[in-house]
A and B are shown apart, each in its own frame.
Chain A
Amino acid sequence: SQTIHQWPATLVQPVGSPLSLECTVEGTSNPNLYWYRQAAGRGLQLLFYSVGIGQISSEVPQNLSASRPQDRQFILSSKKLLLSDSGFYLCAWSVWGRNQPQHFGDGTRLSIL
Chain B
Amino acid sequence: AQKITQTQPGMFVQEKEAVTLDCTYDTSDQSYGLFWYKQPSSGEMIFLIYQGSYDEQNATEGRYSLNFQKARKSANLVISASQLGDSAMYFCAMRASLNAGGTSYGKLTFGQGTILTVHP
Report A's interface with B, CB cutoff 8 A.
Answer: 32, 34, 41-44, 46, 49, 51, 57, 59, 88, 90, 92, 94, 96-99, 101-107, 109
Contact = CB atoms under 8 A, between A and B. Distances in A.
A44 B44 CA distance: 12
Given A46-B107, A49-B106, A107 B44 contact: yes
Interface in B36-79: 37, 42-47, 50, 52
Given A44-B108, A44-B110, A105-B44, 4 more contacts: A43-B91, A88-B43, A98-B95, A106-B43
A43 B33 CA distance: 18
B50 A43 contact: no
Nearest to B46: A104
Interface residues of B, number: 24
B36 to A, nearest CB: 10
A51 B112 CA distance: 26
A6 B72 CA distance: 38
B52 A43 contact: no
A86 B103 CA distance: 27
B8 to A, nearest CB: 13
28 contacts: A32-B105, A32-B106, A34-B107, A42-B113, A43-B111, A43-B112, A44-B45, A44-B108, A46-B107, A46-B108, A49-B107, A51-B105, A51-B106, A59-B107, A90-B43, A96-B98, A98-B31, A98-B33, A98-B52, A99-B52, A101-B50, A102-B35, A103-B47, A104-B44, A105-B44, A106-B42, A106-B43, A107-B43
Interface string B84-101: 000000010001001000
B87 to A, nearest CB: 15
A32 to B, nearest CB: 5
